[in-house]
């Protein structure tokens, strides 16, 4: 919103305040709905199992200028031996029309549980990454990406 | 429509036993998300590559399930711990049922 005149009228100021207020009321509800979509996807996969933090390095840019091509790198700390390795990794985007982004299945032959790809993001949002270890333990990490130009529709 | 997707893969040709190598792949594909509308306002039907598989000497080492959120001309990189000489087979599965395949030899010495 760019106001050309420095002196804002009383009416404009009130209108601005009203818009800001409305946005503040609506915004958390919108993001909550998307969070729920991701939570539902995760529940489909793993039920009500508990997630631990740590072990996951989710590397996404803080600010993505182009939502059509956003690099996403996951790196999970693991010895990657036959006895202890990362089985699968799922990446979700909370603000996309379809929350699922990518699912990886690793094997001990990988030597390192790390993979990179590029994704589309519709808007500024949180990225959720979950990792399933061979011993059944689950880990979760989140990161926020600010998107300047959305990558859906158009 | 677009031309036939061509895969491009970067794998070292030689590695030492136990060496961790990074494999980088790229394939040309529009990855039509099924979310877009054309000029007439009709939804453009989804057509993406939904699965990428990497196998070494016939044994699957890495798999990725791609969703419409993956960018056009999808890039995928991952790691492999070199153990023996052999051949990588990379397979991309399209929504329309076709497979795109690339092979690369690796010599371990």
- Please tell me if residue B83 touches chain A, with a CB cutoff of 8 Å: yes
B104 vs B100: CA distance, rounded Å: 14
Q: And the tokens for A100?
A: 């699922």
Phi then psi for B99, rounded to 5 degrees? Answer: -115, 140
B93 close to B49: Cβ distance less than 8 angstroms:
yes
Say how many residues make up chain B. Answer: 109
Say if A80 falls within a structural domain: yes
| pLDDT of amino acid A61 | 95
**Which residues of chain B lie closer than 8 angstroms to A105, CB-CB?**
62-64
Beta carbons within 8 Å of A55's beta carbon, 6+ residues apart? A76, A77, A78, A131, A139
Phi then psi for A28, rounded to 5 degrees? Answer: -60, -35
Q: Give the residue with greater pLDDT, A40 vs A9.
A: A40
How large is the average pLDDT for residues A64-72?
94
Q: And the tokens for B85?
A: 């000489």
Mean pLDDT of chain A: 85
Residue found by looking up tokens 């729920």 in the block? A36
How large is the average pLDDT for residues A29-54?
82
Mean pLDDT of chain B: 94
Specify the CATH number for the domain of residue A141: 2.60.40.2470
Task: Please name which of B68, B1, B61 lies closest in space to residue B25, comparing C-alpha atoms.
Answer: B61
Q: And the tokens for A33?
A: 């709905």
Outline where DSSP puts E strands in B11-74. Answer: 14-15, 20-27, 49-56, 59-66
A72 close to A57: Cβ distance less than 8 angstroms:
no
Say if A47 falls within a structural domain: yes
Considering only the beta carbons, identify the residue of A102, A106, A154 that sits closest to B36: A154
Interface test with B, best of A120, A149, A150 (most B CBs within 10 A): A120
ipTM of the complex: 0.92
| pLDDT of amino acid A4 | 52
Query: What is the residue range of A100's domain?
Result: 32-149
A143 vs A61: CA distance, rounded Å: 9
B84 vs A123: CA distance, rounded Å: 45
A97 vs A123: CA distance, rounded Å: 10
Nearest CA in chain A to B63: A105
How large is the average pLDDT for residues B7-19?
95
Cα angle vertex B90, ends B85, B95, to 5°?
165
| pLDDT of amino acid A146 | 94
Report pTM.
Answer: 0.83
Q: Residue B70 and residue A102: Cβ atoms within 8 Å?
A: yes
Percent of chain B, pLDDT > 90? Answer: 88
Write out pLDDT tens, residues B41-76: 899 999 999 999 999 999 999 999 999 999 999 999
Number of domains in chain A: 1
Judged by DSSP in three states, A105 sits in: strand
End-to-end CA distance of chain B: 45
The 10 Å Cβ neighbour count of residue B9 is 16
Judged by DSSP in three states, A45 sits in: helix
- Name the helix (H) or strand (E) containing A47: none
Write out pLDDT tens, residues A81-137: 999 999 999 999 999 999 999 999 999 999 999 999 999 999 999 999 999 999 999
Superfamily of B7-108 according to CATH: Immunoglobulins (2.60.40.10)
* CA distance to partner chain A, nearest, from residue B24 (Å): 9
- Name the helix (H) or strand (E) containing A44: helix A10-46
Say if A14 falls within a structural domain: no
Domain boundaries, chain B: 7-108
Say if A24 falls within a structural domain: no
A67 vs B94: CA distance, rounded Å: 23
């Amino acid at each position: 919103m760019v106001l050309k005149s420095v002196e804002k009228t009383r009416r404009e100021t009130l209108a601005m305040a009203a818009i800001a207020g409305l946005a503040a009321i609506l915004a958390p509800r919108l993001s909550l709905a998307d969070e729920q979509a991701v939570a539902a996807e995760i529940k489909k996969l793993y039920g009500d199992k508990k997630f631990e933090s740590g072990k996951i390095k989710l590397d996404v840019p803080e600010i993505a200028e182009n939502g059509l091509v956003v690099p996403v790198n996951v790196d999970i700390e693991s010895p990657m031996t036959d006895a202890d390795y990362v089985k699968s990794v799922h990446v979700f985007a909370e603000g996309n029309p379809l929350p699922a982004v990518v699912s990886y299945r690793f094997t001990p032959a990988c030597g390192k549980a790390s993979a990179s790809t590029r994704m589309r993001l519709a808007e500024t949002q949180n990225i959720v990454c979950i990792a399933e270890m061979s011993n059944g333990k689950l880990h979760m990490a989140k990161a926020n990406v600010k998107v300047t130009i959305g990558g859906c529709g158009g | 429509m677009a031309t036939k997707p061509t895969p491009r893969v970067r794998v070292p040709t030689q590695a030492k036993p136990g060496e961790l190598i990074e494999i980088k792949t790229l394939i040309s594909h529009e990855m039509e998300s099924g979310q877009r509308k054309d000029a007439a306002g009709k939804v453009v039907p989804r057509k993406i590559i939904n699965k990428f598989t990497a196998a070494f000497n016939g044994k699957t080492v890495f798999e990725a399930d791609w969703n419409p959120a993956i960018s056009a001309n999808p890039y995928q990189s991952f790691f492999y711990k070199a153990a023996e000489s052999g051949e990588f087979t990379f397979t991309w599965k399209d929504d329309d049922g076709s497979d795109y395949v690339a092979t690369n030899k690796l010599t371990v010495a």
